[in-house]
Amino acid sequence: MIPFRDLKAQYQALKPKIDQAIQNVLDEGQFIMGRQVRELEESLAEYVGVKHCISCANGTDALLMVLMAWDIKAGDAVFVPDFTFFATAEVVSLVGATPVFVDVDKDTFNIDPVKLETAIQSTIKEGLYQPRVVIPVDLFGLPADYPAIEKIAKKYNLLILEDGAQGFGGRIGDRRACSFGNAAATSFFPAKPLGCYGDGGAIFTDDNDLAGELKSIRLHGKGSTRYDNIRIGLNSRLDTIQAAILQVKLQAFIDYELEKVNQIASFYSERLNGLVKIPVIPEGYYSSWAQYTIQLGNQKQRNILQEELKKQGIPTMVYYPKPLSQQIAFAGLSTKSELLVSADLSDRVLSLPIHPYAEKEAVLSICEAIESGTRQ
């Protein structure tokens, strides 16, 4: 049966090149900030279509570093979708600012632009926090509605930080994910569309000054030398070995993986349409399919189907069983808006196995199991 994300199959397909890339690092002995890091950053910036790529230790640091560079702090409001991974809002609290949770679109899972503007207006009216940033998330591989979000951000003078942790490879028209807003962050966690063999992340921007600050922040606020510290920073570097691995994986991602995973998603959608609610990809959008997420009628139906698939050796995941606004860590925050869609999705979503090395026959067998399971 198809694994949820088959990293072993990917490694076997790329083994000679990955092994050689790792051996090159071992031979050269530059394990921190070796040439492969610089070369990867250049390749990633070219692929995304921006001037600068600054690699770092993980996707969470990528978000955090941008907020640090922008001097986001106590008294500032940062707008984040309620239905996403904890890190998106966690970094807001880490710099002392206040996350304002915004409900999402029931079809795309991404932040709802109409509700975003309502949340901004409510925050301004309340007067407790200064609206500064919006962090849209490209959930499950689909870019957020940046044409609408950019208009809203311009209207209220907000900065946009694209959370492309799951979105790398997605597109709106000819514009690739991680090129939207004032800056973008992504993650190279192994299960992401482009993943390494450990933790890793990167930031993308066209802003020369921001890029310079980020390079300083990732090295303890480095100035002209390593012992010249001009700001408070982090220790957040991408290991050279991970950069070497990512160079090999990036080429495979470009050459065939992204196209193949879209084929797998199409197989699912063709077969499951009418049985469950399948993912919606708006016209002009292209997903990198970090997850293929269906919706069942209610939590009971979801849980029953998940258990039936488990009995047949089919792995599934629930992203996310609890919205951010319901997390204990944010219990002290009050929200004036209703977050009904996010709460409803948490009860009904179920993510299925998907990766570029899946076989159509395996996917169809999963669909047959879903068809049988939904009839019970």
Stated pTM of the model: 0.97
Nearest one of 120, 80, 86 to 104, comparing CA atoms? 80
Count: domains in the chain:
2
In this structure, what CATH number is given to the domain that contains residue 364? Answer: 3.90.1150.10
Q: Are residues 113 and 144 in the same domain?
A: yes
Pairwise CA distance, residues 24 & 36, whole Å: 10
Q: Are residues 140 and 188 in the same domain?
A: yes
Residue-number span of the structural domain to which 184 is assigned: 7-101+109-248
Q: Are residues 211 and 262 in the same domain?
A: no
Residues facing 57 on adjacent strands: none
Q: If you average pLDDT over every residue of the chain, what do you get?
A: 97
**141 DSSP assignment:** G
Nearest one of 339, 167, 338, 363 to 267, comparing CA atoms? 363
Q: Are residues 204 and 125 in the same domain?
A: yes
Question: Please, where are the H alpha helices in the chain?
Answer: 7-28, 35-48, 59-69, 87-94, 113-126, 146-155, 208-217, 240-252, 258-272, 299-311, 340-348, 360-374
The reported pLDDT for the residue numbered 332 is 86
Q: Are residues 222 and 293 in the same domain?
A: no
Does the residue 195 lie in any domain?
yes
pLDDT digits (tens, 9 = 90+) for 327-345: 999 998 876 668 999 999 9
Query: Which of 224, 248, 272 is the last residue in one of the domains?
Result: 248
In this structure, what CATH number is given to the domain that contains residue 20? Answer: 3.40.640.10
Evaluate if residue 175 carries a pLDDT over 90. Answer: yes
Does the residue 355 lie in any domain?
yes
Cβ neighbours around 336 below 10 Å, total: 11
Does the residue 1 lie in any domain?
no
Mean pLDDT of 222-249: 96
Q: Are residues 308 and 353 in the same domain?
A: yes
Confidence of residue 1 (pLDDT cuts 50, 70, 90): low
The reported pLDDT for the residue numbered 336 is 60
Instruction: Record the tokens describing residue 348, joined without a space.
Output: 């009904």
pLDDT digits (tens, 9 = 90+) for 36-70: 999 999 999 999 999 999 999 999 999 999 999 99
Q: Are residues 263 and 144 in the same domain?
A: no
Q: Collect contacts of 242-245 with beta carbons under 8 A, ≥24 apart.
A: 242/188, 242/196, 242/197, 242/198, 242/200, 243/34, 243/36, 243/37, 243/39, 243/40, 243/55, 243/200, 244/21, 244/22, 244/24, 244/25, 244/36, 244/40, 245/18, 245/21, 245/22, 245/196, 245/197
Q: Are residues 224 and 266 in the same domain?
A: no
Is it true that the peptide bond before 227 is cis, omega within 30 degrees of 0?
Answer: no
**What does the angle CA 191 – CA 193 – CA 196 come to, to the nearest 5 degrees?**
55
Q: Are residues 73 and 15 in the same domain?
A: yes
Q: Are residues 239 and 261 in the same domain?
A: no
Does the residue 49 lie in any domain?
yes
Evaluate if residue 376 carries a pLDDT over 70. Answer: no
Evaluate if residue 165 carries a pLDDT over 70. Answer: yes
pLDDT digits (tens, 9 = 90+) for 68-124: 999 999 999 999 999 999 999 999 999 999 999 999 999 999 999 999 999 999 999
Query: Which of 248, 266, 294 is the last residue in one of the domains?
Result: 248
Q: Are residues 191 and 272 in the same domain?
A: no
pLDDT digits (tens, 9 = 90+) for 343-356: 999 999 999 999 99
Does the residue 69 lie in any domain?
yes
Does the residue 2 lie in any domain?
no
Q: Are residues 31 and 137 in the same domain?
A: yes
Percent of the chain with pLDDT over 90: 96
